[in-house]
Structure 1
């Protein structure tokens, strides 16, 4: 009798194993839309495996569940052409909170594509960065994908890369540089605040505007599509100015918006440059913390022999303007994300500093 029972147990275990193996093989391949709520997100080896885009991959024709968005004032990265998208799981929505922060649901994937315009006026893809809200621990995770020379796909790339490119800027001027693809730790330096990885770009205030060529506000479009809940009247939503829009915003507003997006992710409380005491958020109201007549605490040789972060009325003797106008390691600010001087951004900040009343002796 014991032998019969033992034999039955063995047969049951073998049968269960076979069923389990075949059951796994019959399951559909995990996609971005089928991430289990209790399973850690696993980054795929190739960008094409996510199914974000249809047709020729580098055309970036998004599927219905992947929505393109733009920022009122974006981060400058060597005149890169950037295409931004967000993927939301089926039935999930972004929640607008009372503080104006967008609460993205688990398994959200933020997709940021970087390309440059070559001398033949062709768009050449360089990298695609993914920021994923992992459903297993509610934390954001980051990964970079490097495009191949054939422009047919992008492969997971952790260690960063240096890519020689010759590109055209916004005015058609030619630049030759070595584009810096960040490693995952570089990404974390910019995205971490108080040791927590967070999105930088897709905030309510950065999305609160109408994209050129469209008629409806971007946040209102998200709400109409059912992507966003809790959105109040748009007049009650903070708006970050468009740094290029001199018709609707003042010089100060545009310069402050530019500094917010290009500097404040580090120069803020909890950011990577917190110890400097220089805080460049758009909402900053303390003139000293904004840098006016503030002595730097950690600039070292990067200060160029100057004494203050911002000297009102005198950009030529302001460390902030000096560091923006450099590409030298140890001097250039931001430290990451660019190898070329953004001449338009430098001019904007210089004009703002020059517009300030000079300090009386």
Structure 2
């Protein structure tokens, strides 16, 4: 059953008196008043003790909670199994430092937290949930056998806010249309928010959007700090309808922000301090691939490479690598791009590649201290704007 067909039961209403329970200990969590919440419970508290069994206690408390419940996690939780986030629930920590979910040494999990539809290999997207106000610690040094992702989202209308996500061998936050077994959705996964998180030390991408079809669209990625990613700070396979705004990205190995399949996309007011800091290649501060059929906007971003440019790499501070099909329409305006003295990079790079063409308005951008302020390549038509 897809999320569209699921409904929250009417029994959970404001008139119900909130019952707060502490989950029963299973090898580490503190004992409480009940083995699980009563049917009308609206809040379930799980107190961890940084010990074996914390993960089992959390998963049992979630499994026994009713739709509409808030799961409150407290203390440091030692996790040796993936926490399954059932939909139609909220998950809250006491604070970023008051609740720490840490991968145990040698657990080598595929994900620390994950949507139920991802874990259960469902064909439909999972129901909505909210996660906020806690730290996810991947303990990368103690888990070298697997590229663990911090939070895997395969649910629509989901909100992630106020997390510290650190030291994962995979991606810090991954939004995906594939299940744990690799099966793609037969529905859509839209209208989510990833806002106000600090994501550091990811082995792959800080935020990754993995869409094998055309289902993970129309999300918001805003006000995040993303640092020290091994690959890209933000990597979006399908940015159709996305708003990628006011993120601060720095110290990343490859591209700071990479967005494919622009279609009604807005990328604005982001601050890129550094990119292309590992390996040799063609690196973008903001790199784009555009779809035909709609128009997108790139505006008011600040893009720098404050650590300089590595020898042997090509730096494109804001650039269109290709148009995927048809004629793409793009407005690029009000951006500030600056290199350092002696930089070899290109400030604004535009190419339609093998696509039908790019109808481009590029005005009001400040570009300085770079070898080439702007380069136009294949099938690009400049419009003066209005």
Greater helix content: 1
Greater strand content: 2
TM-score (norm 1): 0.29
TM-score (norm 2): 0.28
Higher relative contact order (CA closer than 8 Å, sequence separation 6+)? 1
Highest Rg: 1 or 2? Answer: 1
